[in-house]
């Protein structure tokens, strides 16, 4: 689903029942027509040849209208712009509007905005934009911003603006008598056909609206698709600004399927819905026949299973050993599947299923997913294909999948009592590091369950491991140094004296093999405003000096301990008028030198990460930073048709260009970022960069080696995160790639010993493991006490460390929007009517009324604002009980898999929780 700043740009071919109304009209034919308008970063602005002409000379050129009498904003309003541009960059222009004059920017802000793609050429283009501004009530001013200037653009950016009009199509909108529409030959009299800006067919319900409380929270679309695997619904809501969209997957098999689209999860599916639009496909060659669209409160149709993923569960699968095989299933149909069975499993010769009771498949509710598991055993080393089919009685189609299986020879290594001693490889003059996210003790972002439920192929070599276990860290050390990686930048969380996610550092300090690996602090200081200060900085540096810098394992640059800063912007914000981030960096140097060090090498994450703007880099240098870095390179480089879904090849092909541009600045050194990609499907699903492979990754490694050799940067090589499993930036050994990503590093930068590379193997090969975190029994409860022994509710990093005493959990916020979350065994929402919390919250310093909020997610549906309930309160400082009444909440339904409590929205606030229960 796209956010509210995203534009739906449609070329409407509908004919309204009444004549359109021209609400505002500006035609720039004479100088008087431009009177009252203002410009910024434009030159030679003039009226010529019946239009407004000029050149954009800055990075953010814009034209603003005068204030005009307010008019009532409607969902169907269109802003029509007739314009010609000769820009090198067909980038995103922006239309801003104002609803009141009292803002910092003359009525404009970042909320009333619509992006659209500007097209350059020698002809005038007519842009029909749909701002969906009905929730703003009124409009009193417009502004047109041209696309941001690219660093590579050298041509003059000229424009000719003929007119701007605001048009009310004057549709006769009536409430739909029913919300079931059948199509014949891809047509229905209530739906208007059209095309979107990339040429895909659209169908729009222009002259009817319906109320979500009456119609329901499910949209069932039946269609036949070829040459596309995507479709989407879009709509206007009377309650929310902006166009709402929800994409859904379709089969491109040319057969009719019913797709239940769970609009329940969309915050925008609320109030009166108008202009409901179906976009049939994701490319102009898509062939789609629409059969019906139904909006209702229950799922529609027969059960239909989809296999989301199938394959061997673990990274290493040895001959002669039973190996787990998983099938991740989703029910996209309208009814629960009953009696589903595996009716076909074709395996390579030499592979068979272990046992006899393996064909039965679990029952799954609509919109939900689950796993089927069985075991395979191979009698020989092999790589081969499997074919899988699952049939369900009453379903029109079977679910099918295919894939590859690899079984490797047993190594017959002797059983070990502990992780075998590492054998580091020689990388000579090359020094390769990597970023590391210590988020895998199940306290961050929902932990491992959010990975295995969506992306089981990412399962690490160690399983769903306890990251704070020194034995697990020793395995990581062994694999890192045996594959040419010498040090880690470890994400480090400090907020005004409180640390979070520090289990890895504590575990590392207890490791047997810590002397083999260097590490350094990457201070992930995305903290609350006001949290940086001189006093706090002194505490931070004191901690570094006393606990980290004085250890032999700490990473240094030019004989100085090194640290990296995530957010110089936050430091500058908090130290405005007090010396800024420069003052905080000076404190680092002063204290380090006073402690006997030559100084500290302070690196920084530069933003935009892909940019090579000399002004930005020079500013960082002048503020006391010694080098720059990027956490990972994930920019589309203006080469992607879809900037939210594009191939990893773009990163592989453009990384060298980014390094070259950065080097040309000739300023402070920089770490050559060897990207590990991005695909945050388990977290927020904001952008998917697909097709990452060890082959492409090794290409980037080899390009980095060549670049380092060319410029003498052999000690400035750095992988992106090796274990950001939720963000999709990973290289650590896992089920998807085995050791291949690490081996790409070794193959590129290390010298192969005469006796061959150290063998990469896993714990099972030497009789060790498993290391999986156990699910606490309290995850299975529906009434939670806080005795500190089996606490299932985990505070987020915006709370400090919890303190357990007298049967309560006490936490203090270090940021606004603190949260505690619970990954629970799925339960039916219909079994419970309320969530109750007994807690004690520190009084608000101004005695203000506040609100607490609970969120929930369902199987297959992530957390969303729509899936929440608020309770207003005034904190008394004494015990209070909050009751979140969910009985009549239209979105409290299905199987609940995760709960989150946001008790307040302020930092530096103490909260004591006694009990949380369902009733």
The answer to whether residue 360 scores a pLDDT higher than 80 is yes
Whether 157 and 201 share a structural domain? no
Peptide bond into 608 cis (omega under 30): yes
Q: How many CB atoms lie within 10 A of CB 709?
A: 12
Is residue 111 within 8 A of residue 76, CB to CB? The reply is: no
User: 124, 123, 115: which is closest to 83 by C-alpha?
Assistant: 124
Cα distances (angstroms) measured from residue 439 to each of 169, 468, 528? 52, 10, 20
- Model pLDDT, residue 156: 67
- CATH classification of the domain holding 72: 2.60.120.260
Q: How many domains does the chain fold into? A: 5
Whether 594 and 644 share a structural domain? yes
Task: Determine whether 916 is exposed, middle or buried from the number of CB atoms within 10 Å of its CB (0-12, 13-18, 19+).
Answer: buried
Q: φ and ψ at 574, to 5 degrees?
A: -75, -20
CA-CA distance, 708 to 432, in Å (whole number)? 11
Is residue 196 within 8 A of residue 257, CB to CB? The reply is: no
CA distance between the termini of the chain: 32
Beta strands 125-129; 305-312: pairing state: unpaired
| 712 found inside a domain | yes
- CATH classification of the domain holding 455: 3.20.20.80
Whether 688 and 724 share a structural domain? yes
User: 227, 211, 151: which is closest to 179 by C-alpha?
Assistant: 211
CA-CA distance, 350 to 633, in Å (whole number)? 43
The answer to whether residue 9 scores a pLDDT higher than 70 is no
- Model pLDDT, residue 88: 62
Q: What is the pLDDT of residues 299-327, one digit of tens each?
A: 999 999 999 999 999 999 999 999 999 99
| 10 found inside a domain | no
- CATH classification of the domain holding 833: 2.60.120.430
User: 366, 298, 307, 363: which is closest to 335 by C-alpha?
Assistant: 366
User: 265, 393, 312, 275: which is closest to 855 by C-alpha?
Assistant: 265
Whether 576 and 724 share a structural domain? yes
Q: What is the pLDDT of residues 693-739, one digit of tens each?
A: 999 999 999 999 999 999 999 999 999 999 999 999 999 999 999 99
Whether 794 and 879 share a structural domain? yes
Q: φ and ψ at 638, to 5 degrees?
A: 55, 30
Going by the DSSP 8-state scheme, the letter that residue 436 receives in this structure is E
- CATH classification of the domain holding 377: 2.60.40.10
Helix (H) or strand (E) holding 372: strand 369-378
Whether 571 and 720 share a structural domain? yes
User: 640, 713, 631, 716: which is closest to 675 by C-alpha?
Assistant: 631
Is residue 720 within 8 A of residue 632, CB to CB? The reply is: yes
- The stretches of 863-915 forming alpha helices (DSSP H) are none
Whether 143 and 268 share a structural domain? no
CA-CA distance, 305 to 51, in Å (whole number)? 58
The model's confidence at residue 174, banded by pLDDT at 50, 70 and 90, is confident
Half-sphere exposure of 658 (CA within 13 A, CB side): 29
Angle between helices 740-749 and 694-711 (to 10 degrees): 30
Whether 872 and 914 share a structural domain? yes
Is residue 404 within 8 A of residue 325, CB to CB? The reply is: no
Whether 156 and 132 share a structural domain? yes
Q: Which of 407, 422, 441 is the last residue of a domain?
A: 407
Whether 469 and 579 share a structural domain? yes
The answer to whether residue 903 scores a pLDDT higher than 50 is yes
| 703 found inside a domain | yes
The model's confidence at residue 2, banded by pLDDT at 50, 70 and 90, is very low
Q: Is the pTM here over 0.85, yes or no?
A: no
| 899 found inside a domain | yes
Secondary structure class of 633 (helix, strand, coil): coil
CA-CA distance, 312 to 459, in Å (whole number)? 10
CA-CA distance, 255 to 155, in Å (whole number)? 50
CA-CA distance, 422 to 501, in Å (whole number)? 26
| 14 found inside a domain | no
Beta strands 688-690; 645-647: pairing state: parallel
Beta strands 910-918; 808-812: pairing state: antiparallel
The model's confidence at residue 188, banded by pLDDT at 50, 70 and 90, is very high
Whether 514 and 657 share a structural domain? yes
Task: Look up the domain containing 218 and give its range.
Answer: 174-296
> Distance between alpha carbon 485 and the CA centroid of its chain, in Å?
27
- Model pLDDT, residue 280: 92
222 Cβ contact partners less than 8 Å away, ≥ 6 residues apart: 256, 257, 258, 259, 290, 291, 292, 293, 301
Q: Which of 743, 766, 789 is the last residue of a domain?
A: 766
Helix (H) or strand (E) holding 439: none
Q: What is the pLDDT of residues 425-462, one digit of tens each?
A: 999 999 999 999 999 986 666 678 889 888 999 999 99
β partners of residue 809: 804, 913
- Model pLDDT, residue 197: 78
451 Cβ contact partners less than 8 Å away, ≥ 6 residues apart: 458, 459, 464, 682, 725, 726
Burial 845-872, CB ≥16 within 10 A → b, else e? eeeeebebbbbbbbbbbbbbebbbbebe
CA-CA distance, 200 to 202, in Å (whole number)? 6
Whether 136 and 206 share a structural domain? no
Is residue 25 within 8 A of residue 163, CB to CB? The reply is: yes
Is residue 580 within 8 A of residue 571, CB to CB? The reply is: yes
- Go through the chain and tell me how many residues it has: 919
CA-CA distance, 882 to 865, in Å (whole number)? 19
| 418 found inside a domain | no
| 772 found inside a domain | no
Burial 66-92, CB ≥16 within 10 A → b, else e? eeeeeeebbbbbbbebbbbbebebebe
The model's confidence at residue 16, banded by pLDDT at 50, 70 and 90, is very low
| Mean pLDDT, the chain, integer | 91
- Model pLDDT, residue 13: 34
Q: What is the pLDDT of residues 243-299, one digit of tens each?
A: 899 999 999 999 999 999 989 888 789 888 988 999 998 888 999 999 999 999 889
CA-CA distance, 901 to 624, in Å (whole number)? 40
Rounded to 5°, the CA angle 317-321-327 comes to 55
Q: Which of 391, 407, 423 is the last residue of a domain?
A: 407
């Amino acid at each position: 689903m796209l956010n509210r700043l995203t534009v739906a740009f449609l070329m409407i071919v509908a004919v309204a029942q009444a004549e359109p109304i021209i609400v505002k009209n500006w035609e720039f034919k004479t100088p008087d027509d431009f009177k009252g308008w203002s410009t910024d970063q434009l030159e030679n602005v003039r009226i010529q040849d019946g239009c407004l002409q000029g050149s954009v000379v800055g990075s953010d050129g814009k034209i603003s209208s005068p204030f005009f009498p307010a008019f009532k904003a409607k969902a169907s309003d269109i802003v029509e712009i007739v314009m010609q541009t000769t820009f090198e960059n067909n980038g995103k222009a922006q239309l801003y509007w104002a609803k009141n004059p009292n803002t910092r920017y003359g009525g404009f802000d970042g909320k009333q905005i619509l992006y659209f793609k500007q097209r350059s050429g020698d002809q005038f283009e007519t842009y029909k934009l749909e701002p969906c501004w009905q929730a703003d009530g009124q409009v009193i001013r417009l502004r047109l911003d041209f696309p941001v200037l690219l660093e590579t653009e050298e041509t003059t950016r000229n424009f000719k603006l003929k007119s701007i009009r605001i048009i009310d199509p004057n549709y006769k909108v009536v409430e739909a008598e029913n919300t079931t529409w059948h199509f014949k030959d891809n047509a229905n009299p209530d739906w208007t056909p059209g095309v979107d800006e990339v040429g895909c067919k659209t169908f729009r319900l222009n002259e009817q609206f319906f109320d979500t409380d009456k119609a329901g929270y499910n949209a069932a679309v039946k269609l036949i698709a070829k040459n596309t695997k995507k479709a989407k619904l879009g709509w206007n809501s009377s309650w929310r600004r902006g166009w709402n969209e929800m994409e859904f997957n379709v089969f491109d098999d040319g057969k009719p399927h019913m797709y239940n689209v769970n609009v329940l999860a969309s915050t925008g599916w609320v109030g009166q819905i108008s202009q409901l639009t179906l976009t049939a496909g994701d490319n102009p060659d898509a062939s789609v026949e629409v059969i019906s669209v139904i909006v209702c409160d229950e799922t529609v149709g027969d059960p239909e299973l989809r296999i989301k993923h199938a394959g061997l569960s673990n990274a290493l699968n040895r001959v002669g050993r039973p190996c787990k095989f998983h099938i991740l299933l989703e029910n996209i149909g309208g009814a629960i599947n009953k009696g589903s069975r595996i009716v076909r499993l074709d395996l390579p010769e030499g592979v068979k299923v272990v046992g006899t009771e393996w064909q039965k498949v679990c029952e799954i509710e609509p919109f939900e997913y689950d796993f089927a598991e069985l075991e395979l055993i191979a009698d020989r080393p092999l790589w081969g294909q499997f074919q899988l089919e699952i049939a369900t009685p009453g379903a029109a189609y079977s679910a099918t999948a295919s894939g590859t299986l690899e079984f490797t020879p047993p190594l017959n290594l002797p059983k070990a009592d502990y992780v075998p001693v590492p054998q580091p490889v020689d990388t000579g003059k090359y020094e390769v590091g990597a970023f590391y996210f210590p988020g895998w003790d199940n306290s961050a972002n929902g932990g491992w369950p959010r990975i295995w439920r969506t992306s089981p192929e990412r399962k690490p070599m160690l399983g769903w491991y306890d990251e704070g276990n020194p034995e697990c860290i020793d395995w990581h050390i062994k694999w890192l140094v045996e594959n040419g990686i010498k040090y880690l930048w470890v994400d480090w969380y400090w907020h005004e004296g409180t640390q979070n996610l520090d289990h890895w550092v504590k575990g590392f300090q207890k490791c047997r093999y810590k002397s083999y690996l260097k590490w350094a602090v990457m201070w992930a200081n995305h903290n609350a405003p006001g949290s940086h200060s001189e006093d706090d900085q002194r505490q931070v540096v004191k901690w570094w000096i006393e606990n980290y810098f004085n250890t032999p394992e700490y990473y240094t640059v030019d004989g100085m301990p090194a640290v990296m800063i995530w957010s110089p912007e936050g430091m500058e914000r908090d130290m405005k008028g007090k010396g800024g981030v420069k003052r905080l960096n000076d404190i680092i140097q002063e204290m380090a030198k006073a402690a006997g060090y030559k100084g500290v090498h302070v690196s920084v994450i530069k933003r935009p990460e892909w940019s090579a703007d000399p002004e930005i880099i020079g500013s960082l240098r002048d503020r006391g930073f010694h080098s720059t870095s990027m956490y990972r390179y994930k920019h589309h480089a203006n080469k992607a048709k879809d900037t939210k879904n594009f191939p990893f090849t773009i990163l592989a092909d453009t990384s060298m260009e980014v390094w070259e541009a950065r080097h040309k600045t000739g300023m402070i050194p920089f770490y050559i970022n060897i990207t590990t990609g991005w695909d945050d499907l388990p977290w927020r699903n904001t952008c998917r960069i697909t097709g990452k492979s060890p082959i492409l990754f090794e290409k980037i490694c080899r390009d980095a080696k060549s670049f380092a050799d060319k410029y003498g940067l052999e000690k400035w090589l750095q992988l992106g995160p090796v274990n950001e499993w939720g963000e999709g930036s990973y290289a650590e050994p896992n089920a998807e790639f085995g050791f291949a990503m690490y081996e790409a590093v070794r193959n590129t930068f290390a010298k192969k010993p005469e006796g061959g590379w150290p063998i990469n193997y896993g714990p099972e090969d030497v009789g060790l493991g498993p290391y999986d975190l156990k699910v606490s029994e309290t995850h299975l409860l529906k009434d939670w006490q806080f005795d500190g022994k089996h606490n299932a509710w985990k505070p987020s990093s915006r709370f400090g460390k919890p303190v357990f005493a007298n049967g309560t959990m006490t936490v203090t916020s270090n940021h606004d929007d603190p949260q505690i979350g619970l990954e629970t065994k799925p339960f039916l929402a219909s079994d419970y009517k309320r969530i109750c919390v007994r807690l004690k919250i520190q009084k608000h310093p101004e005695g203000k009324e506040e609100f607490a909020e609970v969120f929930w997610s369902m199987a297959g549906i992530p957390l969303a604002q729509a899936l929440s309930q608020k309770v207003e309160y005034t904190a008394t400082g004494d015990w209070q009980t909050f009751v979140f009444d969910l009985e009549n909440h239209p979105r409290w339904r299905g199987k609940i898999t995760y709960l989150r409590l946001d008790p307040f929205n302020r930092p530096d606030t103490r909260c004591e929780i006694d009990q949380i229960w369902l009733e």
